[in-house]
Amino acid sequence: MGSPTESESMDTESISTQGESIDSPKIAKISVWDLPDVPQGKLPPHLELQRTRVMCDFLAPTNTQNIQYSGAYASMGVDNSVQFEQFRNNFKVEVVRLDDDELEFDMIGIDPSLANAFRRILIAEVPTVAIEKVLIANNTSIIQDEVLAHRLGLIPIKVDPRLFEYMSENDVPNEKNTIVFKLHAHCEKGGDRLRVLSSELKWLPNGSEFILGTESQASNSSAKPKTYTSFSCSQDSLPEFSNGPIAPRDADIIIAKLGPGQEIELEAHAVKGMGKTHAKWSPVATAWYRMLPEVVLLRDIEDDEAEELVKKCPVKVFDIEDIGKGKKRATVARPRACTLCRECIREEGWDKNVAVRRVKDHFIFTIESTGALPPEVLFTEAVKILEEKCERVITELS
């Protein structure tokens, strides 16, 4: 091609001049070698927030994942691996509330997988004693035998399961693996309907009183008739049961209602078991946890805005304090009560005023016992079971 003409050169110069006016002022270019060094041994605040907090936006929570990779922050000189010494120094258990059937405590400095392991062990692997076999001699009520047996199995028995042994299919029922109750209720003809309560279950420390059907009446009459259990001694003679009789945890549970002329006569045999076999052996009504809420005011919210913020929260997380000269300011009074409803940030613009977060390694744990064992005992038993599991894994690996 030939050289450009004079008019073409002028056009090119004109375009170049226009380009310079559009791009001005010019952005200074900085060499990568002149950038400031990344701080070593400490994460920047925004990364530390993502690592330790769940951010609850008005649409959905974010940063919910746990960063498990040990080298995730290696470029910043931060070791993200799990270290035993660090865990031992940071882990804490703080009891918040304790009564007969409920325990609330904080587990601090722990991974969600361990918190969930405790929950699953409490529900499925801490043993209790529950009615497993029901021998029905007479049942003329409207409740079928199977339903009656199921209702009896769900009645909590107040007895320490650690005093008993597990019973396998080949074991003979004895004083170390079986507890026997009897129930005999009769509603007289012409009388009012009768409520059969759990208090009607009477403990038989000497074992079953029902004679085996295979036992011949014509056999040696001087011998003691054979029953469904083989107790070598009375259970009430054992020192562990000398303080009081074995009985249902609650005496007012309705088992059945009898009409005039109806009758129930049975024996109930209780054995030791775990919740993963059947829910009747689960020692807890529920065991659950949630991450500690963290509510932060990003700026001072005063006067009318403070009143509006207090009205937004249905569980009264926020309160108002007087700062003098007729002014009022919103404060976070009860962050633990936050249910993550996000009403305080749902309206447009309020997410710039309030931040709702969850602490990833701080769990509020609640145990509701059925009453068979105190909740504080359930937690210590769950710790022992988890310890046994860890020892078993270490043994297998070594």
Q: In the prediction, which pLDDT does 8 show?
A: 46
pTM comes to: 0.80
Residue 84: left (phi > 0), alpha (psi -120 to 50), or beta?
A: alpha
Could you tell me the domains of the chain?
Answer: 44-126+283-397 (3.30.1360.10), 128-214+225-280 (2.170.120.12)
Closest CA to 264 of 100, 137, 93: 137
How far the first Cα of the chain sits from its last, in Å, is: 81
**Per-residue pLDDT tens digits for 158-214:** 999 999 999 988 899 999 999 999 999 999 998 899 999 999 999 999 999 998 876
Mean pLDDT of 35-53: 79
What does residue 276 show for φ and ψ, rounded to 5 degrees? -70, -15
Q: In the prediction, which pLDDT does 66 show?
A: 84
Kindly report the average pLDDT of the chain as a whole number.
Answer: 87
Query: How far apart (Å, rounded) are the C-alpha atoms in residues 11 and 18?
Result: 11
94 pLDDT band, cuts 50/70/90, is very high
Query: How far apart (Å, rounded) are the C-alpha atoms in residues 207 and 24?
Result: 99
Judged against a pLDDT cut of 90, whether residue 39 lies above it is answered with no
Q: In the prediction, which pLDDT does 334 show?
A: 93
Assess contact for 267 and 210: CB atoms under 8 A: yes
Amino acid 16 reads: S
- Which tokens in the block code for residue 60? 């959905």
Q: In the prediction, which pLDDT does 44 show?
A: 84
Query: How far apart (Å, rounded) are the C-alpha atoms in residues 129 and 231?
Result: 18
Neighbour tally for 290: CB within 10 Å: 15
Closest CA to 204 of 128, 139, 267, 273: 267
Q: In the prediction, which pLDDT does 9 show?
A: 45
Residue 266's SS3 state is strand
Residue 246's SS3 state is coil
Assess contact for 262 and 187: CB atoms under 8 A: yes
**Per-residue pLDDT tens digits for 359-398:** 999 999 999 999 889 999 999 999 999 999 999 999 999 8
Mean pLDDT of 104-126: 94
Q: In the prediction, which pLDDT does 69 show?
A: 80
Burial class of 131 by CB neighbour count within 10 A (0 to 12, 13 to 18, 19+) = buried
Overall size of the chain counted in residues = 398
Judged against a pLDDT cut of 90, whether residue 83 lies above it is answered with no
**Per-residue pLDDT tens digits for 292-335:** 999 999 999 998 999 999 999 999 999 999 888 888 999 999 99
